[in-house]
Structure 1
Amino acid sequence: MTEARAAARMSELQRRVLSAIVMIAAALFAAIVGGFVFAAFWIVAGVAVGVEWAWLAAREPRARRRAARAAGVTLGLAGALAALVTLLPLGPWPIAGVLIVGAALVSILGRPAALVGLSVPYGAAVFLGAIALRRDPEDGLLAIFWLFAVVWATDIAAFFVGRSLRGPKLAPSISPNKTWSGAIGGAIVGTVAGTVVAAAGGESVLLPVAAISFLAAILAEWGDLFESGMKRAFGAKDSSSLIPGHGGLMDRLDGFLVAATFAAAIGVARGGFEAAGQGLLRW
């Protein structure tokens, strides 16, 4: 029985690694190509995340189907507007309007589920920050590479450091497998990874970048815990079975969407919508 359990764990790890390699390769390809390919990649991901949230939050079957459809349509429309910003003089307000109206509609269609309307802003966070960073013609690609480095390094290091060192649990009532050692190890490795990518991209003032990398790593871990708490509240182990060994896209992008939103907020605040990548990394 012990050997069978060990073999099952190894098989699960192999599926996780293979799925992760495919997802990383696809994300890197979209980032390098940029433009509408990049936007479409993350819009599809955001739609999937929003639909997964709506599906989990709404318990009544008819309400679940209606809320999930409305969330998908809302996020698809908002994503299309975000992708067209570079071609049309839209600004952020039409996108915000679609998201607000859509979230209200999803809340009505998914009632009595109290949290179903959050599927819209949660899904939108997957693509809005990423698109805002990538559209910078100077440092958009570097900003996305930085974001990938921080989030992926944090996630991978937290998993392996936590499994190796174990120790006190981070939040046992929310996610019993997460440890303080994993969280600290993940934050340190994520900080180093983000700083190294920025330095490789030509940034010489690295202390602010290191501080932002550290905060982004912490927020990515918080996003992971938040999603775990929501799944527990919804009574689900995984958001879906879309990705072998990983669950759903909501399970995989929980930390990314928080870190991307944080990074884009800093980038836009310092560099504006046209130079968010420079605003994030150039100090």
Structure 2
Amino acid sequence: MSEELRLRIVSGIVLAVVVLVSTWYGGIGFRLLAAAISLLVYYEWSTITKLAEKDFQANAIGWLGTALVAAVTVLGEFDYAIPLLLIFTVLTAILSGLRRGSWWLPGGVFYSALSGISLAAIRGEDSVGLAAMLFVFAVVWATDILAYFVGRAVGGPKLAPKISPGKTWSGAIGGTISGVIAGTAVALVQFPNTGIWVACIALLLSVSSQVGDLFESFLKRRFGVKDSSRLIPGHGGVMDRVDGLVFACFAAFLLAIGLAATRGDPAASLGGLLLGL
């Protein structure tokens, strides 16, 4: 076993333990993890897109907005976090327009801040939130792992050759099927009466996670970088590891918010809505 592979395995185990333990205990520990992911994603996004080089002051406002949303997320005040996210996204968009700056700035604020909010909101404070988060993890991880192995074993037409030459349609389909099976199994073990709903949600999240993977590949190719950073030994950056998870959480969060609004119950458990409870 090479030193690089050993390093990759060790750091991967450490990351998995940190994520799963914080998910299990929930509360402020998980919200801190979500906020840290949000800040690190903005750091990598701003580095890749060279926002500080293009407009240091505007990027500082982007940092301020992301940090404020992360702080409010840690406190669990999502009713304030979402308006702050929208305010700073619009503010940085206006700044970019007036100063002829980079539109990657408001995109980075929105992407990174929503990452933390969606993760923390789905986990919530109760056992249903834990079940919902494990459901999301199962879908995303099974999709990612099986897409890789099925794609290598079967091969065939490329999924998006100009964005990510290694991805194939066979891998995408295999990953989606695996994600649906894994997510549905995790949900049914905990809530046997959830029915076909969770399979449909698992399908949505699996596709969303692959879109997120492709989006980050596009971003890195657009700016000519291999990894989002070198923060994680053997794995690259945080964005390299959470690209699919972030997009799946976006989809899950927005869907749950929409369902809560439809039911007229903004205080409903987002995890419960996601699982059809």
Aligned to 1:281: 275
| C-alpha distance 25-276 of structure 1, shift in aligned 2 (>3 A) | same
* Contact map agreement 1:191 1:213 (CA 8 A) in 2: yes
Aligned to 1:42: 34
Aligned to 2:246: 257
* Contact map agreement 1:58 1:110 (CA 8 A) in 2: no
| C-alpha distance 93-64 of structure 1, shift in aligned 2 (>3 A) | closer
d(CA) in 2 for partners of 1:122, 1:209: 26
Aligned to 2:45: 53
d(CA) in 2 for partners of 1:242, 1:65: 23
TM-score by length of 2: 0.87
Counterpart pick for 1:83 among 74, 81, 88: 74
Aligned to 2:173: 184
Q: Deviations over 1:1-23 (max 9, x none)?
A: xxxxxx7xx65554443332221
Aligned to 1:29: 21
What is the CA-CA distance between 1:162 and the residue it aligns to? 1.5
Q: Give the RMSD, CA atoms, in angstroms.
A: 2.6
What is the CA-CA distance between 1:166 and the residue it aligns to? 1.9
Aligned to 1:243: 232
Aligned to 2:201: 212
d(CA) in 2 for partners of 1:11, 1:67: 41
In the alignment of these two chains, the number of paired residues is 272
d(CA) in 1 for partners of 2:79, 2:64: 22
Look up the SS of the partner of 1:253 in the other structure.
helix
Identity across aligned pairs (percent)? 38
| C-alpha distance 70-24 of structure 1, shift in aligned 2 (>3 A) | farther
Matched, 1:93 2:83: yes
d(CA) in 2 for partners of 1:120, 1:249: 16
Aligned to 1:73: 64
Gaps of 5+ in 1: 1-6
Gaps of 5+ in 2: 261-265
Counterpart pick for 1:19 among 6, 11, 21: 11
| C-alpha distance 21-238 of structure 1, shift in aligned 2 (>3 A) | same
d(CA) in 2 for partners of 1:281, 1:67: 40
Counterpart pick for 2:131 among 142, 162, 167: 142
AA aligned to 2:70 is: G
* Contact map agreement 2:159 2:167 (CA 8 A) in 1: yes
TM-score by length of 1: 0.86
